[in-house]
Structure 1
Amino acid sequence: MDSKVCAHRRRCRRTRLKSLMEKYRLKTGLREQTILKDVFFTPPFNLVEVRENKKNPLLEVMVMSSSPGMLNDDVYDIHIDVINHSQLNLQTQSYQRIYVSKNGTKQRMQVDVGEGAYFSHVPHPMVPHAGAIYFAENTLALTKSSTLLWGEILTCGRKWMEKGEQFTFKKHHTITTIRVEGKTIFKDNLFLLPAALDITEMGQYEGFTHQGSLFFIAPEGDIKKKMDDIHDRLASEADIDFGISLIRENAYVLRVLGNSGERLFRIFDQIRKEEDENINRITKASCLQN
């Protein structure tokens, strides 16, 4: 057989194997509480239930990975299905590193949140190394009665390296689209090209090195009070800048600039824990009434 044909077939086989290695699927189920109904994952992923209080209605799942981070040509394909009246918190194990990537790395994530369902996801910060290229497309489909808490944090890179790697990645592009009953209510298009734009200047990061966004929507509850509580809490935090906006009567988006990924993660994770506890409380009370 021609050597060129053999080489082509080997490349195709490696491509097929690679595409199978970077997927996970999760679908919730309901018994007396939310359970893992259908789970599928391929290396390097593993999905593990980490719910400490087994009586809590909220299912807590951690995404674990045996990979040190995203490598050149990696494509992550993720699908989360939170069925009607179920509750899920999806956690990450550690910071997500994006290594130098000539051809780039990609992530596609589809999340469906059913009627009366709850989904929270505040992943650890992303750390793009020097030369990293990353593209992500996150699409979240909700109903009018769905509750969603969604966070994203981006660092400047390996800030404390001896030579420093602040904003030395090549490109970072993340598109997050949130739809309610098929209608887009929020779209975040983050495109950073450090070689073409000074990210530290006015109108950009303004001297800060990390940025994060947190989106929340719920069918009920006093959104303005939540916003006031968050504002009062963050107003006393040093070395950050933030803004919180009401984007519709039942939803807000919080933006934070800072100099520490751990600090931004702590801020977002605290809000996430409060909403998780709230949904546990509401669901338990509803079960007692029924």
Structure 2
Amino acid sequence: MVSTLKIEIEERDGESFLRDAYVTQPFRIMPVGQYKSDGASYLMIMSSSPGILSGDVYDIQVNVKENARLQLQSQSYQRLFNMEGSASQIMNVKMEKGSSFSYVPHPVVPHEDSTFKSHNKINIEDDCDLTISEIITCGRKHHGETFKYAHFQNLLEVYHHDRLILKDNVLLRPDIMPLAAMGLLEGFTHQGTFVYLNTKNEDVKEHIEFFFKVLEGLENVAFGISELESNGFVIRILGHGGEQMFDFFRKVQDVLWEEKVAIQI
């Protein structure tokens, strides 16, 4: 089944709002920031389906107009059910000048024999801030389905003035890849990726140093932070729990969203 979600966020007099929306089953879009006073738009993607099924194709399109700010949230863990075939998701984001977009979804849980391919393509203009992350778990560990999924892939591409400035491709094939080996997951069961970049020529070195110190306080994880050629960085974490990673990524999101590096985590 092909499912579509299209939203357009506009800004007027310092307030960002949902200008237009179009959804098909099982999608719904709900406002969740009614009590916030920062002028940004806070929306949650909701679904009447318990997860992604074989044959599902999700088409998500987000347009953040000039000077608008959008924080997009997920409803819950994304389950990829057992599949005879495959499922896919495409998310296209257009960020106009001076806009901000932040999306830190819940972890993905691939069930046994699931095959899922995701492609996130983001076009970003000048004076923008982008935050996006993903967490992939080993599957239903307590059901004996650790690394029993068939194929998981998430491709992220970010373009600035039609020039590719970031490409990140996560591909996991447990049947042909020794995921526990050196250079891959090395005994860990969960992998998280957090990406931040801006086109405001704002330096990110203080952010990198701050988050590195915070990461040193996390238990039972391995991590690294890489500075991007553009003004940004990528945090990669290996661990044993999706909730731990998700909580940390949400805290990083809060720091960046509020543009405060000295805030306590």
2:108 pairs with one of 108, 115, 126? 126
1:106-147 deviation digits (Å, cap 9, x = unpaired): 001100111010000000000000010001111011013111
1:213 pairs with one of 177, 193, 197? 193
Where do 1:225-264 residues align within 5 Å?
Answer: 225-264=206-245
Q: Which has the larger radius of gyration?
A: 1
| 1:198 aligned residue | 178
Could you tell me how far apart the structure 2 residues matched to 1:188 and 1:119 are? 18
The residue identity in structure 2 corresponding to 1:49 is: P
1:178-207 deviation digits (Å, cap 9, x = unpaired): 111111111111111101111011110001
CA drift of 1:278 comes to 2.9
Say whether residues 1:183 and 2:163 are aligned partners: yes
CA drift of 1:225 comes to 0.2
CA drift of 1:154 comes to 0.4
Say whether residues 1:155 and 2:137 are aligned partners: yes
1:55 pairs with one of 37, 40, 45? 37
RMSD (Å) for aligned C-alpha atoms: 1.2
1:213-254 deviation digits (Å, cap 9, x = unpaired): 111112143300000000000011110110001112511111
| 1:265 aligned residue | 246
Could you tell me how far apart the structure 2 residues matched to 1:152 and 1:69 are? 16
1:170 pairs with one of 150, 154, 169? 150
**1:103 aligns to what SS in structure 2?**
coil
Structure with greater proportional helix content = 1
The runs of 4+ residues in structure 1 deviating greater than 4 Å are none
CA drift of 1:52 comes to 3.5
Could you tell me how far apart the structure 2 residues matched to 1:81 and 1:245 are? 28
1:155-182 deviation digits (Å, cap 9, x = unpaired): 0001122xx1110001111111011111
CA drift of 1:54 comes to 4.6
Gaps in structure 2 of 5+ consecutive residues: 261-265
Could you tell me how far apart the structure 2 residues matched to 1:247 and 1:166 are? 33
Structure with greater proportional strand content = 2
Could you tell me how far apart the structure 1 residues matched to 2:130 and 2:217 are? 26
Contact (CA 8 Å) 1:58, 1:276: kept in 2 or not? no
Could you tell me how far apart the structure 1 residues matched to 2:213 and 2:84 are? 44
How many residue pairs get aligned? The number is 258
Contact (CA 8 Å) 1:177, 1:184: kept in 2 or not? yes
Could you tell me how far apart the structure 1 residues matched to 2:187 and 2:215 are? 19
Q: TM-score, normalised by structure 1?
A: 0.86
Gaps in structure 1 of 5+ consecutive residues: 1-17, 280-290
| 2:80 aligned residue | 98
Could you tell me how far apart the structure 2 residues matched to 1:110 and 1:23 are? 12
| Paired-residue identity, % | 34
Q: TM-score, normalised by structure 2?
A: 0.94
Could you tell me how far apart the structure 2 residues matched to 1:154 and 1:221 are? 30
| 2:263 aligned residue | none
Could you tell me how far apart the structure 2 residues matched to 1:245 and 1:96 are? 27
| 2:93 aligned residue | 111
Contact (CA 8 Å) 2:83, 2:114: kept in 1 or not? yes
1:61-90 deviation digits (Å, cap 9, x = unpaired): 000111000001000000000011000000
Contact (CA 8 Å) 1:223, 1:249: kept in 2 or not? no
CA drift of 1:255 comes to 0.5
